[in-house]
Amino acid sequence: MSLRVKQIIIAVLGVAFLVSLIFVQWLEVVRRQTEAGIRPHEIAVPDTSKQCVDCHMDLTPGLIDHWKGSTHAEKGIGCVECHEANEGDADAFSHYGQLIATVVTPLDCSKCHEEEAKEFAASHHARGGEILASLDNYLAETVEGCGRHYEPVSATPGRADFGKVNGMASVNVGCKQCHGSLVALQTTDGELVTYKDLQPDEDGIPTNKEILSKIAVDKEQSRPMYDASSWPNTGIGRLNLDGSRGSCSACHSRHDFSPRRARQPENCGKCHLGPDHPQKEIFEESKHGIAYRDLKEHMNLDGDTWVLGKDYTQAPTCATCHMSGHTRNDGKITHDPGERISWTNRPPISRVMDTDEKGDAIKETNAELRRELIKDTWQNKRQRMMDVCTHCHTKSYVTKFYEQYDDFIHNYNEKFAKPGQMIMDALAKHKLRTSVKFDDEIEWTWFYLWHHEGRRARHGASMMAPDYAHWHGMYEVAERFYIEFIPQARELCEIGHEEGKAAGAEEVEALIEKILDREEHKWFMSGRKPHGGEGDHSEEPDDDGEEDEAGDSDTTAGSTEGESTEGGESDESDETGDEDDAGESEEDDGESTEDGDETDESEEDETEEDDSDEPASE
């Protein structure tokens, strides 16, 4: 072979190699542009759904545009494949030759996503709809509304169609839109049909056939009529007609079901924010949130895979810490956020997340009996979270963070939560407060103390947000406890004396004095006589006649280490079922997200079961 031939072969191979590199790079650019929605990907409209797509492109173009951007469209999963119904389904109706249903449930999604559906069904998120008759729902149903329709004060000009006022309006647009509704169909006799009436089998088919004939049908659209109290709804714990729980679209919003969106913290912010479980706000204040905002463009959010330590390392999001895969668990995603949460901070008193076979937090205090019930320990859950944390932080750093966090929870529980609960229980026991919720001022005070300030403090500690832990948290807890709660409890005792309940009043007074006589409260009593009288130990003024402002001293109470590593071991998950009676007994398991929000914190005697945050984290 001559030198010239060799040169030609080498040149051809070189050009071929260069072309292959350019081609591979072009494919990668196309892939990234497609994932980001910049370049439309190839879509495959199945024959069963072609008529749907053509028609709805005119009727609801936004819906079809979203679907065209989905992986479903790319893989030939169309309208009928998700909305297809079975003969005998309560909500089934014939639509241009196809038998379909409006509401797509986790049972429908499980046909393709079986493992994900199982994980979700075991989570507290799936129990979010079990909030009827809970304390939170009592506020929306009764305090904010009426629990039923009631007569208006006067007519509304321009709205002659307005009749009675719907006293459940606040529940329908508030509570249920995060926690989930009890999906209901209207009947011809004015009643409602839910899964409880239908009694569906494991395949979601109603076994109570008689009730089907009573379901009302919209004459114009020839379809079953959903009741507006339950639909539209994408609450994460929605109770569906086929017996399944939840709504996959709560996180994977239809109809593009974008993984990119589900990976971002804003996706969780629909529910995990606000005064009682501000996980989103806390995340934004934290070092994690600051890094995310700065580096999100480098986090491969559009990737086919999203494994911490492999596809990105820049910053965590809610999904990173609570659900997404990482290199230490072989990239395994979970749809049960509670698997990595070691404290539930939804109840008035935080509890470690030892859980039973149903995933419920164990409240048994006997050590031997408790061990028999435990299916998954809080230590295992914490280790799973630490496996996430140590992608960016050393083991000693993470361990010391958890030491700080545990100390914070321990202090909150022992100084304020347990004493407050004891006082509320004692007031109820001796009938010094009524059985009607929220008609006594102290019930509002106690609710704010643990449900708002107390949760904010605990969530802030779990998610490296010092201002929420202190100023928006424990500072307000302390002020509420000493300046409002204790005086109000004493006032109820005084009223008890006047109303002939002296024995009970004296018992509660003794309890209060016993609590305040403990070393952690003695500072408060050192300058006071019993029952709040002024003592002789008032602070001396400075030379300029002004007292030092608390907090202007050279030292600060409680410095923080800086970054916590709990990437949001934050519910509000939940969170969800809700709370214990505004003080009557330690409540059920909360929406155990270590930031306080997995669901299930049902009111002990009055809720079915089940708090995101709350969103749900430590």
In a shared domain, residues 284 and 425: yes
* Residue pLDDT, tens place only, 308-364: 999 999 999 999 999 999 999 999 999 999 999 999 999 999 999 999 998 889 999
Phi/psi for 612 (5° steps) reads -10, -125
* Residue pLDDT, tens place only, 234-260: 999 999 999 999 999 999 999 999 999
For residue 67, being part of any structural domain is answered with yes
* Residue pLDDT, tens place only, 441-470: 999 999 999 999 999 999 999 999 999 999
Give residue 29's pLDDT: 80
For 175-210, give one letter per residue: b (16+ CB within 10 A) or e.
bbbbbbbbbbbbbeeeebbbbebbebeeebbbeeee
For residue 110, being part of any structural domain is answered with no
Query: Can you tell me the mean pLDDT for 10-32?
Result: 86
The secondary element (H helix, E strand) that includes residue 481 is: none
For residue 357, being part of any structural domain is answered with yes
For residue 13, being part of any structural domain is answered with yes
The CATH number linked to 417 is: 1.20.850.10
Burial of 398 (0-12, 13-18, 19+ CB in 10 A): buried
* Residue pLDDT, tens place only, 145-155: 999 999 999 99
Share of the chain above pLDDT 90, in %: 77
In a shared domain, residues 215 and 198: yes
In a shared domain, residues 371 and 397: yes
In a shared domain, residues 465 and 585: yes
Last residue of a domain, one of 250, 285, 310: 250
- Phi-psi sector, 181: left (phi>0), alpha (psi -120 to 50), beta: beta
In a shared domain, residues 233 and 270: no
Last residue of a domain, one of 224, 250, 276: 250
In a shared domain, residues 295 and 244: no
d(CA 560, CA 286): 13
Query: Can you tell me the mean pLDDT for 371-387?
Result: 97
| Lowest-confidence segment of 71-85, 294-308, 499-513, 584-598 by average pLDDT | 584-598
Q: Which amino acid is at 312?
A: Y
* Residue pLDDT, tens place only, 569-618: 444 333 333 444 444 444 443 333 344 444 333 333 333 333 333 333 34
d(CA 368, CA 472): 39
Q: Which of 593, 590, 588, 589 is nearest to 571 (CA)?
A: 593
For residue 543, being part of any structural domain is answered with no
For residue 116, being part of any structural domain is answered with no
d(CA 52, CA 35): 24
Please count the structural domains in the chain.
4
Share of the chain above pLDDT 70, in %: 83
For residue 308, being part of any structural domain is answered with yes
d(CA 208, CA 279): 43
In a shared domain, residues 16 and 67: no
Last residue of a domain, one of 250, 270, 293: 250
Task: Tell whether omega for the bond before 466 is within 30 degrees of 0, i.e. cis.
Answer: no
Whether 303 has a pLDDT exceeding 60, the answer reads yes
Give residue 530's pLDDT: 56
In a shared domain, residues 374 and 392: yes
Q: Which of 347, 273, 285 is nearest to 614 (CA)?
A: 273
- Say whether 326 sits in a helix, a strand or coil: strand
In a shared domain, residues 510 and 454: yes
In a shared domain, residues 25 and 58: no
Asked if 149 and 166 touch (Cβ cutoff 8 Å), the reply is yes
Provide the domain limits for residue 14.
Answer: 1-39
What pairs with residue 245 in β-bridges?
Answer: 239
In a shared domain, residues 589 and 499: yes
Strands (DSSP E) found in 98-188: 98-100, 149-150, 165-166, 185-186
- Say whether 100 sits in a helix, a strand or coil: strand
Quote the tokens at residue 108: 């429908």
For residue 29, being part of any structural domain is answered with yes
In a shared domain, residues 306 and 186: no
